[in-house]
Structure 1
Amino acid sequence: MFSDRASSHLDPWLHGADPTPGIVSVHCDWSGLALVWRRDGTRVRLERTRFRPFVFARDLRDVEHLEEQLVADDPRAPVSFRQLRGPAGSLRFLIDAHDGRRLRRELLRGASRRLGRAVVSLHDLSGYSVLGPIEQYLVRTGRTYFKAMAFDDVHRLQFDLETTSLSPHDGRIFMVSVLDNRGCEVVLEAPHGQDEAPLIREFVRLIRERDPDVIENHNIMNFDLPFLMQRAEMHRIPLDIGRAGGPRGVWRVQDGRSRAHWTCAGREIVDTLDAARGHDTDAAGRGLKALARAYGLASEDRVYLDGAQIAETYRRDPDAVRRYALQDVQEVSRLAERLLAPYFALAQMTPRPYHRLPYAGTATGILEPMLVRAYLHEGHALPGAQASSGAAHQGGATYLFAEGVLPRVVKADIASLYPSLIRTHGIKPKSDSLGVFSHLVECLTRLRLEHKQAARDAPAGSRAAGEHLASQIAMKVVINSAYGYLGAGAMSIFGDPDAANEVTRLGRETLSCVLAALQSAGVTLIEADTDGVYFSVPPDWDETRERQLVQDVSALLPPLVNLEYEGRYRAMLSHQIKNYALLTEDGQLILRGASLRSSRAEAYAERFLEGAVRHLLEGNVEGVRREFDRTVQRLRARSLTCADVTTTVRVTKTPADYLKLRDVRKEAPYEALLNSGRRQWEVGDRVRFYRREDGLTVTLSDQDVRDYSVAHYLNVLNSYAERLATAFEPEVFEQLFRTAPQAGLFDRPLTGLLPAWRAVHCAKPHA
């Protein structure tokens, strides 16, 4: 099963020094116990071993009280230290112990005595760097996940819950759909309330029987797992979905993040929502169905049901809900192949568990552990506190040159600008005396180009093409994080704000060169940043001329920096910086930015906006008006359901926290919970609510009462229409989106009327 990628000649800085293949999960604790599950074909073996937990320290002051118990270079001693190569002030002592719990206690005891106050965490102290237990094991051994494995070699399983409510406090599970890449496809059902406990037990049994390496779903961390855990707890059912030999149950990853992440022993739990956030921040706010459509992964016979009506539909037409549920997990599987495969490739290089990579962040979450591993491998100290020139950080810039609708739009991409500048000018952290940063950027760039070419050479749609494509995306993700890592400052070990400032200074110079050259060619600039430029071309230009312009401008740029022709579009709506819509040559609509695409958008308003923007970009102003009229009429006739007007938010306050603040400021989602009789909820619960005719906000119920406030939702509709204001003169805009039925005295004929644009010049630093 293992490919020829298994090699004893691994680059230890890039891949880790240990070529052990087939690791699919690792669990470690502070006692020094390591559980390593390795797949060998159809079998998974558990390896139980020990490692010595460690910390990097600037000095030994906080363990000096151990006296003769502290031994130099003795791996058999209860507590030992090793002096690494490096200057004074660096973290040049590696202190390790047989039991990491004792090591932490002794360090905190010594620090408390030294400082004259109680110290409860090593993270509160300067002069230390501490990794999590699994990262320590992987960094010290040079092992990584999935060496010599292909993505499909891993046993992957998807599951999805159908529930009677978004809250486990007043809803239950009535269906679980399960799919894996080894032939399992099943729907578990609980038609009646008393059937829920047997369903949960059967689900746990099925997981243990199928024995997957990885469990996947979309929003599994914030919905499916918490919901399942609370319902299992209510029925007093142990949720033992981990592998035998490790700790039982499911527990929260301790990473200090407000959004919960869960794990279990021997299996990696991963969320395609995390992966979507890493790939495309606009797409990340959308649900599974929207993402599947956006990526072209939805099947032609896809069943779509409104979330609030699924339980009611199940009572009337259970087969429709079964098809819907199975198609959910099928889409999750396809989405995982697209979005998680790059993280799988990164797990083969990075000393971090696979389940953390989609949300860890590529700079301090992926690049930094590789730097730390290289320094430990070379027996070299980590840098201590970094000195800076004190110059304020100046980021790149984003420019908006035009608002409104512009035709014949070209996107030119400044390919990997910051990494290219880093390579061209040899920019690296001043503290990186070994040159690991530059080595990683160069190696990853070379690997990316090799995989990119191999993906082109492989048969279209083949597994090999998919693997190479995922690998090149993974390399690109890490390469593009190099600048962000330099600018991370105190949050990173090797960060260097001065180096980051030099990168952005060169980036601004390069972008200015691009813009000047394009303007001199007679195009109309629309929006630009260090990722690329949108511009509109004259009506007599064809694609050949567009490509030649991009090629000519690229020739003016520094070595390794290229301007690439990315694509052409029929039209573009420029709304604000980083908020725009594009109509492709083949008629696809692309919306970017929170103003045009939001996870909190009401369904009816989102449909209006998509329809109106499409008509706008097609030059059909009459169609824009019809779209608005149709939506107004449906609101007034109450032909829209309550589900159509709801918004969904995630609560961030406990009931007690909200009640303390309620007299000062009332917030709609919490008022909706209270008005609907809810007195208990959990932080992270999703709430679907709407405004009733009487002005109260309430949560969505199973009953389609259609008691929403028409006046309120007409105002909401107007707020969405205002996002099209840049495309029209004020009097035309007022005419188009007037809710009064009578015509105005000075109304203009809409036939032949075209959207407009205007020149602006707005610039702001990158966020």
Structure 2
Amino acid sequence: MPPLMSPEADSLVGLPLTRRQRDHRGRLQLSYWLRTASGAEEVLIDGESAVAFLRESDRERAASLVADLRGCTLRPLALNSLSHEPVCGLYADSLADWHEALSRLQQAGIGLMEEDIRPVDRYLIERGIFAGARLTHRDGKPALARDPFIPSLRLLSLDIETTLRADRILSIALQCGEEEVVLFNGEIPPAAGIIPCAGERALLVALMDQMRRMNPDLLIGWNVIGFDLRVLEQRARALGIRLCLGRDDQPLRVEQSQTGRWFARLNGRVVLDGIDTLKGATWQFERYSLEFVARELLGRGKLIHDPDDRGEEIQRLYREEPEALARYNLEDCRLVTEIFEKAELVPYLLERARLTGLALDKVGGSSQAFDNLYLPRLHRAGFVAPEYASGQGDLEVPGGFVMESRPGLYRHVLVLDFKSLYPSIIRSFQIDPLGLALGTRGDAPPEALVPGFHHAIFDRRHALLPGIIERLWGARDAAKREGNSALSQAIKIQMNACYGVLGSRVCRFFDQRLSGSITLRGHQILQQTAEHIEATYGHTVIYGDTDSVFVWLGDDWPDRDTDAYGERLAAELNHWWREQLRQRFDIDSALELQYEAHYSRFLMPRMRHSEKGSKKRYAGLKRQSDGNEAMVFRGLESVRTDWTPLAREFQQALYDCIFHDRPWRFMLQQRVRAVFAGDCDEDLVYRRRIRQPLDAYTRNRPPHVRAAQQLEDERRRQGLPPAYRVGDSIAYVITVNGPEPVELLRSPIDYQHYVDKQLLPVADTILPFIGESFAQLVAPQIDLF
């Protein structure tokens, strides 16, 4: 499909799916594939330059270093750095000259600003193109301008099945809308939607044909880059085939970064991995296998009933029941598609793109999103960003405030929660990189200044970030009213990220005076809120955490109209804070305390082996708005994936009994008997994630690593590829001979370990508060075994 270059194509409007930069005939060329209302077109932009900034005082020395690079020029600009120094611009007509110029200047120790921003990204950022784009022409040349257009996107779910060593592809399943196809390597009885292929070469050729015919915008799958596309590329290379799956004639390229993340280069189509996309949208699961996530979200899983042994089962199906393998292969595609639909992942990504300008396949990207929102405003104000992460970094900056808790088993605890506390602090106290630069310069009138921490002072007249936060805040409130959960979630993530990036060295605006002025102000607000509640209302604040305070009304609270009381308490505290900020700082308060929950019973446990209260760990019986109750656990075994199902289910049952004042002793003793009798064996499995390569665990080899190593050693003896990658989970059991993987369980289970390390810690978190001891209750039971 030829790129659009003619003036009559001005009406073209689309969403940039992929973007690429390259040198073409010695000049920089930018490529954008736009998804329009009727298809996809490539737009090529020529005549742009790569840009970076440096101090005007370094211009003469820099000019001598790049004098022989004909495509490079240095120009004075009406811009300043945040250090109040004039800057000039470095412009390059080609990427080759650009990279060479940057290398020379960096080796010479010349400081550069914004040099890491890719020209293909800067072009969109400076034009405010976050999502939709309209093709226009300037001086007869194609150009892009901002447009609100968002198209409907066509998804294709892909899944492959291979031999155990992944050295041969057995089948490829494709699902695109209502159309489903399975490409099968070998003979298979005729059936609708199944295409037999005479070998792998024919299989890959058929895949390219189907991709062109279905013509998707998004290619989705489960570990689709790190496995499916990687194997497809490897097999194509081994067979000497140019595997072209994009919208041009360029072959698929799969690459791995230094951090271990896999990337797929597929022009004109976006590749989305289900696992990374779920995590990016803040979905959390105990495990991220397709089987587990599908059962959690959809209520069903794979067609092979024993997913832990599916490798061998797939080989058997290929040999003996090819139609069953095709069904299994296709069902995996359906599961991924339905997970994307259920979790609203594509709407979320589109809203995120429209909000922040991040590409659809960008994983994470909080720092880049901040740049997209902040840099154009900063440039219009006459400034450029500082050298990367060059702000103050030697200060003591704490994290979120965590109050010393008062351990106990309580009745009637209210939780009051500050809505988006850190963004509201940024808005209220005018915290901002440009505001900091101008506030600390020393020439602003006192009435324009707002104090921060660590000698930070902010000039409220020029602060940019509070306005960005305010617009996001309003947009989120509107999204909530309209029921647009995807947009609301995207905005929430971005608002919180505006704080996080300022305290991270991966952000060019990193400066601990900024992050410290946010977190330390948060500490102050939580502490003063607790003090005011206790002094004015006579209630005890038993805990506070980041943006919440836990208020004990008293075990003898009459419990009449408690919800209304909580709402009134929050409203009065908000009024108090408005008065405080007006009197002390002459600023408008954006702080908004909300009544969040009423716990009829609430446990604040002690730290293990200590009388001190724990932090970020509690449980309670929460009153719902409809009058029902719900058990809530935070940080305890019931929600910790590194504890066994035995511990989690036992905690749920024990706490439910105690919170409702029901008998519990028999249940506890019966559970111990069941463990020793072998009736709970399925609930004794630990699952832990492998966070680095196994051979990197040298000094300390925890149980899950030892179990994983046993399995890998066995697979190596059988000539099979490794079973685990970094990030995968290992399932293992503690036996009398130590940890063993579930797949190689040979020794008797150590039941005493599970009583001592799983049941006892759970029970003794709550029993001492009612004068009981797990050991005394179960000692007679243990003696029986």
TM-score between the two structures when normalised by the length of structure 2: 0.72
**Percentage of identical aligned residues:** 20
Q: Partner letter of residue 565 of structure 1?
A: Y
Contact 1:91–1:127 (8 Å) recurs in 2: no
What is the distance in 2 between the residues matched to 1:313 and 1:610? Answer: 36
TM-aligned CA distance change 1:127 to 1:415, over 3 Å: closer
Residue segments in structure 1 that go unaligned for 5+ positions in a row: 1-17, 71-76, 116-121, 459-464, 745-767
What is the distance in 1 between the residues matched to 2:764 and 2:270? Answer: 47
Which has the higher mean CA deviation after the structures are superposed, 610-619 or 365-374? 610-619
Shift of 1:153: 1.5
Question: Secondary structure at 2:492's aligned position in 1?
Answer: helix
Which has the higher mean CA deviation after the structures are superposed, 235-244 or 341-350? 235-244
Contact 2:287–2:293 (8 Å) recurs in 1: no
TM-aligned CA distance change 1:606 to 1:151, over 3 Å: farther
Aligned twin of 2:364: 359
Aligned twin of 2:765: 726
TM-aligned CA distance change 1:437 to 1:487, over 3 Å: farther
Question: Secondary structure at 2:596's aligned position in 1?
Answer: strand
For residue 271 of structure 2, the aligned residue among 269, 272, 275 is 269
Shift of 1:650: 3.2
What is the distance in 1 between the residues matched to 2:368 and 2:705? Answer: 35
What is the distance in 2 between the residues matched to 1:192 and 1:572? Answer: 63
Aligned twin of 1:473: 489
Aligned twin of 1:672: 710
Contact 1:432–1:494 (8 Å) recurs in 2: no
For residue 249 of structure 1, the aligned residue among 247, 252, 258 is 252
Question: Secondary structure at 1:131's aligned position in 2?
Answer: coil
Aligned twin of 1:371: 374
Q: Deviations over 1:444-489 (max 9, x none)?
A: 4335424533542x4xxxxxx33xx33233233222233333333x
Contact 2:424–2:590 (8 Å) recurs in 1: yes
Question: Secondary structure at 2:746's aligned position in 1?
Answer: coil
Aligned twin of 1:135: 121
Q: Which has the larger radius of gyration?
A: 2
Aligned twin of 1:118: none
Contact 1:414–1:532 (8 Å) recurs in 2: yes
For residue 477 of structure 2, the aligned residue among 433, 440, 452 is 452
What is the distance in 2 between the residues matched to 1:476 and 1:539? Answer: 37
Residue segments in structure 2 that go unaligned for 5+ positions in a row: 1-10, 134-146, 189-195, 439-458, 579-588, 606-613
TM-aligned CA distance change 1:127 to 1:552, over 3 Å: closer
Question: Secondary structure at 2:122's aligned position in 1?
Answer: helix
Contact 2:391–2:509 (8 Å) recurs in 1: no
Shift of 1:207: 3.9
TM-aligned CA distance change 1:131 to 1:720, over 3 Å: farther
Shift of 1:38: 1.0
TM-score between the two structures when normalised by the length of structure 1: 0.74
Shift of 1:262: 4.1
Counterparts of 1:339-418 in structure 2, within 5 Å, are 339=345, 341-356=347-362, 358-360=363-365, 362=366, 364-376=367-379, 380-384=383-387, 388=392, 391-403=395-407, 406-418=410-422
Shift of 1:236: 6.7
Q: Deviations over 1:88-122 (max 9, x none)?
A: 7658232122221222223324554x46xxxxxx9
Which has the higher mean CA deviation after the structures are superposed, 475-484 or 223-232? 223-232
Coordinate RMSD, CA, aligned: 4.8
Question: Secondary structure at 2:259's aligned position in 1?
Answer: coil
Counterparts of 1:274-313 in structure 2, within 5 Å, are 274-278=276-280, 280=282, 283=285, 297-299=297-299, 305-310=305-310
Q: Partner letter of residue 364 of structure 2?
A: Y
Contact 2:691–2:726 (8 Å) recurs in 1: yes
Question: Secondary structure at 1:527's aligned position in 2?
Answer: strand
Higher relative contact order (CA 8 A, sep 6+): 1
Which has the higher mean CA deviation after the structures are superposed, 52-61 or 711-720? 711-720
Q: Partner letter of residue 57 of structure 1?
A: L
Question: Secondary structure at 1:397's aligned position in 2?
Answer: coil
What is the distance in 2 between the residues matched to 1:273 and 1:354? Answer: 15
Aligned twin of 2:18: 25
TM-aligned CA distance change 1:137 to 1:547, over 3 Å: same
What is the distance in 2 between the residues matched to 1:719 and 1:218? Answer: 33
Aligned twin of 2:450: none
Question: Secondary structure at 2:361's aligned position in 1?
Answer: helix
Shift of 1:602: 4.9
Q: Partner letter of residue 94 of structure 2?
A: D
Q: Partner letter of residue 154 of structure 2?
A: H
Aligned twin of 2:726: 684
Q: Partner letter of residue 492 of structure 1?
A: C
Q: Partner letter of residue 556 of structure 1?
A: W
Counterparts of 1:514-663 in structure 2, within 5 Å, are 514-519=529-534, 521=537, 523=539, 525-537=541-553, 538=557, 540-541=559-560, 542-558=562-578, 559-569=589-599, 571-574=601-604, 576-581=614-619, 583-584=621-622, 585=624, 586=628, 588-593=630-635, 596-602=638-644, 608=650, 620=662, 622=664, 626=667, 629-630=670-671, 633=674, 636-637=677-678, 640=681, 645=685, 647-650=687-690, 652-653=692-693
Contact 1:38–1:44 (8 Å) recurs in 2: yes
For residue 94 of structure 2, the aligned residue among 75, 99, 111 is 99
What is the distance in 1 between the residues matched to 2:329 and 2:668? Answer: 34
Contact 1:303–1:323 (8 Å) recurs in 2: no
Contact 2:166–2:231 (8 Å) recurs in 1: no
Q: Deviations over 1:284-337 (max 9, x none)?
A: 86556666777xx53589989553044577769949957963552244222441
Counterparts of 1:150-299 in structure 2, within 5 Å, are 153-160=152-159, 169=165, 178-180=174-176, 182-185=177-180, 197=200, 205-217=209-221, 219-220=223-224, 225-226=229-230, 240-245=244-249, 247-252=250-255, 254=257, 257-278=259-280, 280=282, 283=285, 297-299=297-299
What is the distance in 2 between the residues matched to 1:619 and 1:174? Answer: 59
Aligned twin of 1:53: 50
Question: Secondary structure at 2:336's aligned position in 1?
Answer: helix
What is the distance in 2 between the residues matched to 1:153 and 1:26? Answer: 19
Question: Secondary structure at 2:216's aligned position in 1?
Answer: coil
- Number of matched residues? 683
What is the distance in 2 between the residues matched to 1:572 and 1:286? Answer: 31
What is the distance in 2 between the residues matched to 1:171 and 1:452? Answer: 52
Q: Does 1:36 align with 2:32?
A: yes
Which has the higher mean CA deviation after the structures are superposed, 145-154 or 535-544? 145-154
For residue 80 of structure 1, the aligned residue among 66, 69, 73 is 73
Contact 1:414–1:561 (8 Å) recurs in 2: yes
Contact 2:432–2:463 (8 Å) recurs in 1: yes
Question: Secondary structure at 1:359's aligned position in 2?
Answer: coil
Shift of 1:43: 0.8
